[in-house]
Amino acid sequence: MVLAPGAEFHTHRGALAHDDVIGQPEGSVVKSANGDAFLALRPLLIDYVLSMPRGAQVIYPKDAAQIVHEGDIFPGARVLEAGAGSGALTCSLLRAVGPHGQVISYEVRDDHAVHAIRNVETFFGERPANWDLRIADLNDHSRVPGASEVDRVVLDMLAPWEVLGTVSEALIAGGVLIVYVATVTQLSRTVEALREQQCWTEPRSWESLQRGWDVVGLAVRPQHNMRGHTAFLISARKLAPGTVTPTPLRRKRQAQVAAEVEKRAQEADE
């Protein structure tokens, strides 16, 4: 909740007076009108993301953390993001690049952009000066006057393979591309499109599952519920101009085996 003098926050356990919270140090205990105790803490980014109003589905913290880490999003980085969605990942990216970095977010839907603007401004208290939200298609990026290269690109869209040409032009050599997709079909099509371009390192793909544990003395056991599949993440790095992706040894062997199997099948048919 956003504190305001004289206001109240109503719960099923009684009303909390904002004046009882304002001025208290974090971690204080305040009581409702019913006498129930509440612990007062400022929300972390993870708390905000899980409770923010949303239009599009948000990228959950377990995936956002890996995007920031695997994407090597560093202070001062120039990051290109598409699409902005509800602004959850945008908040993580803006925090990671710091005041001297820049985040350029593309979003094709006006209603999603409205959610992103409201959520980002609410979290930071204002519109970050280093955030450039563009309601447009990412393929229009190269036509923007003064468009410069970026250090990192993060894609969260239905058909990321359709913008890889624009991405390869915008990303610096050695830059990192992270793609967030929900389905196996999207995963396969995106990875094969990256391979066809031959200007990327061999793509890596993975998903993350998160399971909590209950710990009470020596009674230690995994929780019955877990955060299972939310999405697949794909990572690749841009090669220098004119460089062709070397074929990994494993893929060469797989191709040889497939060719041999096909040859034997043809001989058997004859």
Tell me the C-alpha distance between 206 and 11, whole Å.
41
Q: Is 255's pLDDT higher than 80?
A: no
Residues 29, 40: Cα–Cα separation, whole Å? 6
Question: C-alpha 167: how far from its chain's center?
Answer: 17
Question: Which residue type occupies 71?
Answer: G
Question: What is the per-residue pLDDT across 82-128, written as a single tens digit (0 to 9) for each?
Answer: 999 999 999 999 999 999 999 999 999 999 999 999 999 999 999 99
Taking the C-alpha atoms of residue 129 and residue 137, their distance in angstroms, rounded to an integer, is 22
- Among the listed residues 133, 126, 76, the one whose alpha carbon sits nearest the alpha carbon of residue 108: 133
Q: Which domains does the chain possess?
A: 8-42 (no CATH), 46-254 (3.40.50.150)
Residue 252 has a pLDDT of 65
Burial group, residue 35, by CB count within 10 angstroms (0-12, 13-18, 19+): exposed
Per DSSP bridges, beta strands 78-82 and 150-155 are parallel
Instruction: Give the DSSP H/E element, type plus range, for residue 113.
Output: helix 110-124
In 3D, which of 98, 59, 62 has the Cα closest to residue 78? 98
Crossing angle (nearest 10°) for helices 88-97 and 61-70: 40
Location of structure tokens 């101009």 = 241
Residue positions in the annotated binding site? 86-89, 107, 112, 137, 156
103 sits in which H/E element: strand 102-106
Q: What average pLDDT score do residues 137-146 get?
A: 86
Q: Which amino acid is at 141?
A: H
Report, as an integer, the average pLDDT of 7-20: 94
Cα(32)–Cα(18) distance, rounded to whole angstroms? 10
Pairwise CA distance, residues 152 & 202, whole Å:
17
Non-local CB neighbours of 123 within 8 Å, separated by 6+ positions:
45, 48, 52, 91
For CA atoms 46, 181, 132, 53, give the dihedral sign.
negative
230-251: pLDDT as tens digits:
999 999 999 999 888 777 766 6
What is the torsion angle, in degrees rounded to the nearest 10, for the CA atoms of residue 122, residue 127, residue 131 and residue 135? 80
CA triple 96-133-208, angle to 5 deg: 45
Which residues line the annotated binding site for S-adenosyl-L-methionine?
86-89, 107, 112, 137, 156
- Note whether 110 and 84 are within 8 A (CB): no
Strand partners, 111: none
Q: Say what percent of the chain tops pLDDT 70.
A: 97
Averaged pLDDT score across all residues of the chain: 93
What pLDDT, on the 0 to 100 scale, is given for residue 265? 79
